[in-house]
Amino acid sequence: MSKKWSKQEPLPFIIFTRPTHKNVVKWFDEGGGVDDEQFRLVLSSRGVSVGAIAMLIPAVLILLISTLVVLFSKSINFDINYFWTVSFLFIVSGVLWLFSFLKPNKRLILNRVTGKMTYPSYGFAPHITLTFIRATVYSNISAGPDGMIMGTTLQARNPYQRDITRGTYDLAPADPEEWWSYFVWYMDKNRPLPPGKAFDPYREKDFERRKAEGFPKPLFESNIPTPEATKQQRAERKRVGGW
């Protein structure tokens, strides 16, 4: 039987708070991947597996220690349990290494022009693409093995099926309201681009596009002001668009 989601409500399409440089903005100022039309964030990529290293190190240590003990101690004979323990750790490490290089790259893509969102699934399940306003995103509580709350993540879940299968993935490891505010702000094409140096080269172009469209009203609500880059632009938006 597959596990069902609780009756938790998804986050509304609201800019809750201003995304801070420390928690959100710096990732794009330093890594890029954004412009005035499309937003690309690599959530996970092929490469070295931390889990594989965690298994490989004790396997090597056990193998080294047990070999030295057998070689230099006349009273201790080889124990088959060492062999099985080391073999198990090497096998698990090898599987994790293989998985880390075979798994597909996980990307979040937001298209400000088309209003489409593409995000990954866990494992080898394919990415899912849908209209942004159809997305169901949650502030998900993560807990350790003992049930202790470790924190909250921003998690997308498949709106078309309630089982934990295709279309489920953590979009941010912490600060879900800040990250969700950043995504909603970006996808509201009637607002200025979100804060951050990464968007500075595109602000003038984006302003002119919205000006040509008559500065239509925002698509989503906001709990904070989302001003234009300059006083002159703010005045022009107020004069033309009325907001």
**CATH code for the domain of 146:** 2.30.29
Q: Once rounded to an integer, what is the mean pLDDT over residues 88-97?
A: 68
Residues 154 and 117 in one domain: yes
Instruction: Give the predicted TM-score (pTM) of the model.
Output: 0.77
Residues 148 and 70 in one domain: no
Residues 148 and 79 in one domain: no
Residue predicted with more confidence, 143 or 116: 116
Give yes or no for residue 48 having a pLDDT over 90: no
Whether 197 is in a domain gets the answer: no
Of 1-5, 59-63, 67-71, 102-106, the poorest mean pLDDT is in 1-5
Q: Give pLDDT, residue 27.
A: 87
Give yes or no for residue 100 having a pLDDT over 80: no
Residues 35 and 126 in one domain: yes
Query: For a pLDDT cut of 70, what percent of the chain falls above it?
Result: 69
Residue/partner pairs of 111-120 with CB below 8 Å, 24 or more apart: 111/37, 111/38, 111/39, 112/36, 112/37, 112/38, 112/39, 112/186, 112/187, 112/189, 113/37, 113/38, 113/189, 115/187, 115/189, 117/187, 119/156, 119/167, 119/169, 119/171, 120/43, 120/44, 120/169
Specify the amino acid at residue 175.
Answer: D
Specify the amino acid at residue 238.
Answer: K
Q: Once rounded to an integer, what is the mean pLDDT over residues 42-69?
A: 65
Whether 233 is in a domain gets the answer: no
Domain boundary among 61, 77, 102: 102
Residues 79 and 181 in one domain: no
Q: Give pLDDT, residue 72.
A: 66
Q: Give pLDDT, residue 1.
A: 33
Give yes or no for residue 126 having a pLDDT over 80: yes
Full domain range(s) for residue 65: 50-102
Residues 71 and 183 in one domain: no
Q: Give pLDDT, residue 167.
A: 73
Give yes or no for residue 6 having a pLDDT over 60: no
Give yes or no for residue 73 having a pLDDT over 70: no
Residues 135 and 122 in one domain: yes
Whether 69 is in a domain gets the answer: yes
Q: Give pLDDT, residue 7.
A: 66
Q: Once rounded to an integer, what is the mean pLDDT over residues 214-218?
A: 97
Please, are residues 159 and 136 in contact by the beta-carbon 8 Å criterion?
Answer: yes
Residues 114 and 18 in one domain: yes
Whether 4 is in a domain gets the answer: no
Whether 37 is in a domain gets the answer: yes
Give the Å distances, CA to CA, from 77 to 30, 58, 59, 66, 86.
56, 21, 19, 10, 17
Whether 219 is in a domain gets the answer: no
Query: For a pLDDT cut of 90, what percent of the chain falls above it?
Result: 53
Residues 18 and 72 in one domain: no
Residue predicted with more confidence, 93 or 29: 29
Q: Give pLDDT, residue 121.
A: 86
Residues 61 and 149 in one domain: no
Q: Once rounded to an integer, what is the mean pLDDT over residues 226-241?
A: 96
Cα distance between the two ends of the chain: 52
Total number of domains in the chain: 2
Domain boundary among 152, 172, 189: 189
